[in-house]
Amino acid sequence: MTVPARRPRVMMRRRPGFSLRQTALGFGLVASLVCGGGLMLKTLVKSSDTHELLGIALAAGAVVVALGAVRRTRHRRRHPVWDGGAAACADGSPPQEPGPAAHVLAPGTPEADGEDDAETVDGVEQEASLLGLLDPVAFEQAVAALCERDGCRDIEVVGGAGDLGADVVATAPDGRHVVIQCKRYGPVNKVGSQDVQRFGGTCFAVHEAQVAAVVTTGGFTLPATEYAEQCGIVCFDAHALAAWEDGTGPAPWEVEVVAEADVAGC
């Protein structure tokens, strides 16, 4: 789901209202400065004493500083100040607003939190999470649709009571008989060794599979994968399933698996 960014509130201080007292004081100060400047100029012309000139120069500097203060005060009154977490930049321009929020995905997929060393979400993991939202029957139908898309024929969805571990059966493009067991699990659930052993006891002997695969939206325990390798059963976890779905990975019948040894039940 998408978590909207909470943008900081940008507030402006209220502009101060018109003040007759402040205006009168301002004009009075300006008039005093003008008169004082005129008197100093007159004294400067008549006087040649060095000390007097120095004093007049200091007074003139004070007048300039006072004028600058008056101008800054008037400037602040004309231009309101930005606050509330959005202070103005040094050049007077308003701050930039934050960018869009990070998008938050469905459960079972890593979040993209903007950190360089954090896990990033790719299309494969996203597809795996979407397939995991299907119910078991819809998941079997989705796997059958993938088989049909990739060139299989004679596709049947036979999952249900008494299926003996075969949920989808089909004929691969190269003519081999494919038997698939579908396990629609959550992201934290794993197919265990007993599940694979039960499938291994029927997929070859009963269903005469030439390609046997267990496809899940979750993962596999280590004992389950070890048993599958010994029997020649293809294990498709959530990542392999999503790669098959989006065309970036092989189909189960395209994975070459050779049984390591004769195992009871295989």
168-171 and 82-83 as β-strands: parallel, antiparallel, unpaired?
unpaired
Q: Please compute the mean of the pLDDT values over residues 163-181 and round it to a whole number.
A: 95
Cα dihedral angle (243, 218, 104, 119), rounded to 10 degrees?
Answer: -70
Residue 16's H or E segment, with its range, is: none
Contact 127, 121 (CB under 8 A): no
Both structure tokens of 168: 């989808």
153-157 and 177-183 as β-strands: parallel, antiparallel, unpaired?
unpaired
Q: What is the pLDDT of residues 55-88, one digit of tens each?
A: 556 666 665 555 565 555 444 444 443 343 333 3
Q: What is the pLDDT of residues 121-150, one digit of tens each?
A: 344 455 555 777 889 999 999 999 999 999
Contact 134, 125 (CB under 8 A): no
* Alpha helix segments (H runs only) across the chain: 20-46, 50-78, 123-131, 136-149, 193-203, 222-231, 238-246
Q: Is 247 left (phi over 0), alpha (psi -120 to 50) or beta?
A: left
Grade residue 257 by pLDDT with cuts at 50, 70 and 90.
Answer: confident
SS3 104: coil
Grade residue 34 by pLDDT with cuts at 50, 70 and 90.
Answer: low
Grade residue 159 by pLDDT with cuts at 50, 70 and 90.
Answer: confident
By mean pLDDT, which of 110-124, 126-140, 192-206 is the weakest?
110-124
* pLDDT top residue among 17 and 108: 17
Burial class (CB in 10 A: 0-12, 13-18, 19+), 196: buried
Of 160, 167, 235, 140, nearest in space to 197 by CA: 235
Phi, psi (5° rounding) for residue 67? -60, -40
Output DSSP code: residue 48. -
* Total Cβ atoms within 10 A of residue 82: 17
Highest mean pLDDT range out of 33-47, 72-86, 180-194, 219-233?
219-233
CA distance 8 to 75: 27
